[in-house]
Structure 1
Amino acid sequence: MSTTLTFTDPDADAAAITSMSRDELTETGPDLLRESRKHEARAVLAAAALADRVYRERLAGQSEVEVWGSVIEHADKLARAEVSLQFTISRSKAGSWIALADLLKELPLIRTAYLNGELSTNRASIMARAAQRGEDID
């Protein structure tokens, strides 16, 4: 990439992109997309880690007798709400991210491809759910 982007000055970056040649754009575009996917994959894992901590904190100190249905459901909702608040995403998206991270724990090849930026979050979710069901993911 011969034109350097600052990632700190939006106007300068927009001007730099506008002035790029076709070859520079076809080189830069996919690189930028891959990097953004890497960042999002890590955000998904961070969101799931936060949810796990909130969930465990909510249940900490309670006996096994006290931890049942509605208590677990409340802890789960609290975890999703905290992720939603801290990451400024919807609760639905927070739940999807948490579910994806949980699936990826058992699917190291998909997890690696996702973390390397080879898959979008949507594609990683589709592949992980299909792999969980034992389906062909093509």
Structure 2
Amino acid sequence: MDIASRADLDVLLRRFYTAAFADPLIGPFFTEIAGTDLDAHLPRITDFWERALFRAAEYRRDAFGPHAALHTARPLTAEHFGRWVQLWHASVDGLHRGPVADRAKAQGERIALAMLRRLGGKDASIAGDGPGFIPLATLELRRAA
């Protein structure tokens, strides 16, 4: 079944962030550096995704600012964004199939690439080699096809 509502997004995002918080590579960015409170974060990030996928919610926050602060505390690399994409895809695929789910995955890929480039400059490396890493270069290939 496809992503069809805010309730679907809430379940999906809770699943994703539970995995992300527990992940040894990107989890510390959420738990140690940002000290993210999942219950406080979920309504805001659900607004973001509801706006991105359904044009239905108000989202007037600066999505880049918190990532820039994290990057200042500990640099975010292609490997971090690749893991984020990997977990995002797995979370979406584990719950949903359809055009909105496909759009959610594609949007996640665009966000990862845009954040990496904005944080690291236009020459930011999209290479990485960690375990389970999805090279962001493959996303570039997919977009070019």
TM-score by length of 2: 0.29
User: Where is the helix percentage greater, Structure 1 or Structure 2?
Assistant: 1
Instruction: Work out which structure has the larger RCO, using CA pairs closer than 8 Å and 6 or more positions apart in sequence.
Output: 2
